[in-house]
């Protein structure tokens, strides 16, 4: 009996079983997306609002849970991130319309929104709940179904959060299964989701390897690249304000946001004053020996020491053998070069900040450019200056699609202390080998069908009022939802009935089991 059970366990993890698990969830998501796409804007927005309120109410609880489960970050900061990615996020898009057709009065073009359908969304361990909130609400505002896959290190809090938001959405009228979660994530199962023809788009937030896997899956993917933001403080900046912004940003949630400042670049004329201001703001300026100790602790032959991710500055200092105050927010490490040969100019998802002194504004700009080319191209950069021309020159030179001016980069590039679109998925564009350079939002989960008349034949005033088809009927005259999609290459090809689907999957597994037992 034990041997038979062991064989069955092996089969449950086989390629056929993994495909069956993915197919079952994705088939439900396909159905839900087809139903959801018949909803009007009022009903759609009401669902998003209700879900956002449920998310906001649990922001603090899930912030504490995420820190407890992962060991990353600061609970009160995660609470704030969770709150910002719930009600305020939906309010930011309240005047956007992702549901109704649009007409351009000048050209006469009519645009009809076409939701992606089924979104497969990867969730990182560093910002788990905020990313769950963000991706679910992006999907709801655009009438898409979403299947979320949490990082194993944040699995429990993510599963509970998805359940909370799913219940709130369905109670507000969303179709059943419009929000689902992969409860037992593993690499083979994730690969099945990513390469399935039932997945319409992958929304990838996570490590470089996972994002590259999403892009190579053969399905459309919206991915991100690593951050490594330079921040330049010139001699016209308000030094005290700049130091305060940088220290607060670098300490925010212990630097797990990829938008945090990685290396501070300044000029010799203000370097001393800036160090003093940073010390007043809660930073510890490391000695040469302390810099060596930190470099040795944070980096090894396999790369960055993941034990330091999201840890307090005082904890990291203790591990490196450095004595600092328990109140220390940031460890500042003076460095003499940027790029290969200086590991401290790499991305550091912890409150350790490189400090480089340039000889001129031009050299500072070129060093910031070099930093991003070394790592973090396309992601984020920051500058503190009162010289508009310097700001423009710097922004045009660095290979970044976000430049934050006189504000904390962690929050600013993510759209929470600036007027950029709020996001937890940063597009790195062509510089970062990504498909999109903007802050990712619900607008990226919709494409538009454009209806174009002959330019001399139709005047815009002749186009009638455009109406929405309304909710799907229980017995649709236009066929079963999902059957208008291309047929899938699967053992259950053409199956629409869920009981039939389950029976076919059961037969697949039973047949494989018989084959193994014969051996």
**Cα(330)–Cα(314) distance, integer angstroms:** 8
Active-site residue identified among 149, 157, 158, 258? 258
Nearest to 126 by CA among 226, 201, 221: 226
**Cα(379)–Cα(438) distance, integer angstroms:** 10
The string over 230-241, giving b where at least 16 C-beta atoms fall within 10 Å of a residue's C-beta and e elsewhere, is bbbbbbebebee
Burial class, 188, CB count within 10 angstroms (exposed 0-12 / middle 13-18 / buried 19+): middle
Q: How many CA atoms lie within 13 A of 325 on its CB side?
A: 10
209 to 19, 182, 205, 318: CA distances (angstroms)? 22, 19, 11, 31
CA-derived radius of gyration, the chain: 25
**Cα(52)–Cα(89) distance, integer angstroms:** 8
Strand positions, DSSP E, 234-351: 261-267, 283-285, 299-300, 303-304, 330-334
Question: Is residue 157 among the annotated active site residues?
Answer: no
**Cα(181)–Cα(184) distance, integer angstroms:** 9
Nearest to 164 by CA among 70, 267, 68, 53: 53
Q: Two tokens at 396? A: 């045009």
Nearest to 265 by CA among 320, 200, 339: 339
Asked whether the beta carbons of 167 and 199 are under 8 A apart, the reply is: no
Q: Two tokens at 314? A: 């005082």
Asked whether the beta carbons of 202 and 122 are under 8 A apart, the reply is: yes
Give, as one character, the DSSP assignment of residue 457.
T
| Residues acting as catalytic residues | 258
């Amino acid at each position: 009996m034990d041997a038979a059970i062991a064989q069955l366990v092996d089969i449950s993890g086989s390629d056929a079983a993994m495909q069956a698990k993915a197919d079952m969830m994705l088939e439900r998501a396909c159905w839900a997306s087809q139903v959801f796409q018949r909803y009007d804007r009022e009903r759609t927005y009401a669902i998003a609002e209700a879900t956002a309120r449920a998310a906001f109410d649990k922001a603090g609880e899930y912030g504490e849970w995420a820190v407890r489960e992962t060991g990353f970050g600061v609970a009160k900061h995660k609470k704030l991130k969770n709150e910002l990615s719930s009600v305020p996020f939906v309010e930011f898009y309240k005047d956007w319309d992702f549901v109704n057709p649009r007409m351009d009065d000048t050209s006469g073009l009519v645009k009809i929104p076409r939701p992606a359908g089924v979104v497969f969304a990867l969730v990182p361990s560093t910002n788990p709940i905020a990313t769950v909130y963000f991706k679910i609400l992006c999907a709801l505002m655009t009438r898409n179904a979403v299947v979320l896959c949490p990082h194993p290190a944040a699995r429990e809090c993510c599963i509970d959060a998805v359940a909370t938001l799913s219940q709130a959405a369905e109670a507000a009228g969303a179709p059943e299964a419009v929000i689902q979660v992969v409860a037992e994530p593993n690499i083979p199962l994730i690969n099945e989701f990513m390469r399935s023809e039932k997945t319409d788009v992958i929304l990838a937030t996570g490590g470089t390897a996972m994002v590259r896997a999403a892009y190579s899956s053969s399905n459309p993917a919206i991915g991100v690249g690593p951050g490594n933001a330079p921040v330049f403080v010139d001699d016209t900046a308000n030094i005290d304000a700049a130091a305060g912004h940088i220290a607060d940003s670098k300490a925010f949630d212990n630097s797990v946001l990829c938008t945090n400042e990685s290396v501070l670049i300044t000029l010799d004329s203000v370097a001393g004053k800036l160090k003093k201001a940073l010390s007043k703001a809660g930073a510890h300026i490391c000695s040469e020996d302390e810099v060596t100790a930190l470099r040795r602790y944070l980096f090894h032959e396999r790369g960055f020491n993941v034990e330091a991710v999201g840890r307090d500055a005082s904890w990291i200092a203790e591990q490196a053998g450095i004595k600092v105050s328990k109140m220390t927010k940031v460890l500042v490490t003076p460095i003499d070069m940027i790029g290969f040969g200086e590991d401290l100019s790499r991305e550091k998802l912890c409150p350790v900040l490189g400090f480089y002194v340039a000889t001129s504004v031009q050299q500072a700009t070129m060093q910031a450019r070099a930093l991003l080319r070394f790592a973090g191209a396309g992601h984020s950069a920051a500058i503190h200056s009162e010289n508009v021309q310097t700001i423009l020159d710097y922004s045009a030179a660095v290979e970044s699609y976000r430049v934050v001016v006189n504000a904390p980069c962690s929050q600013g590039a993510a759209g929470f202390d600036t007027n950029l679109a709020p996001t937890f998925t940063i597009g790195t564009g062509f510089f970062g080998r990504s498909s999109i350079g903007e802050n990712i939002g619900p607008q990226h989960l919709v494409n538009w069908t454009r209806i174009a008349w002959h330019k001399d034949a139709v005047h815009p005033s002749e186009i009638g009022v455009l109406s929405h088809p309304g909710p799907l009927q229980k017995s649709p005259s236009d066929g079963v939802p999902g059957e208008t999609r291309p047929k899938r290459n699967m053992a259950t090809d053409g199956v629409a009935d869920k009981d039939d689907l389950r029976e076919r999957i059961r037969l697949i597994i039973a047949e494989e089991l018989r084959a193994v037992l014969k051996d």
